[in-house]
A and B are shown apart, each in its own frame.
Chain A
Amino acid sequence: METLKDKKMKKSADTRMKISGAEAIIHCLLAEGVDLIYGYPGGAIMPVYDELYKFQDQLTHVLTRHEQGAAHAAQGYARATGKVGVAMATSGPGATNLVTGLADAQIDSTPMVCITGQVPRHLLGSDAFQETDIIGISTPVTKWNYQVTKASEIPEIMAKAFYIAKSGRPGPVLVDITKNAQFDELEFEYKPCTQVRSYQPYPKPDMADLQEAAALINTAKKPYIVYGQGVILGKAEEELKALVEKSGIPAAWTILGLSAMETDHPLNVGMVGMHGNYGPNVLTNECDLLVAIGMRFDDRVTGDLDTYAKQAKIIHFEIDPAEINKNVKVDVAVLGNAKESLKLLLPLIKENKHEAWHSEFKKKQEEEYEAVIKADLYPQKPGLTMGEVIGSINKASGDNAVIVSDVGQHQMIACRYARFTQTKSNITSGGLGTMGFALPAAIGAKMGAEDREVVAIIGDGGYQMNIQELATIFQNKTAVKIVVLNNEHLGMVRQWQELFFEKRYASTVMTNPDFVKIAEGYHLKARRVEERSELDEAVKEMMNSKEPYFLEVRVEKEDNVFPMIPSGASVSDIRLK
Chain B
Amino acid sequence: MEQLLQQIVNGISLGSIYALIALGYTMVYGIIKLINFAHCDIYMIGAYVGYVCMAKLGLGFVPSLLVSMLVCTLLGVAIEKIAYKPLRNATRIAALITAIGVSLFLEYTTMFFATANVRTYPPMTGFMAKTFKLGDVVISAQQILIAIITIILMVLLQLIVKKTRIGKAMRAVSLDKDAAELMGINVDSTISFTFALGSALAGAAGILVGVYYNSINPLMGVLPGLKAFVAAVFGGIGIIPGAMLGGYVIGIVEVFVAGLGYSMYRDAVVFAILILILIVRPAGLLGKNTREKV
A binds B: no
Residues of B within 8 A of A (CB): none
Residues of A within 8 A of B (CB): none
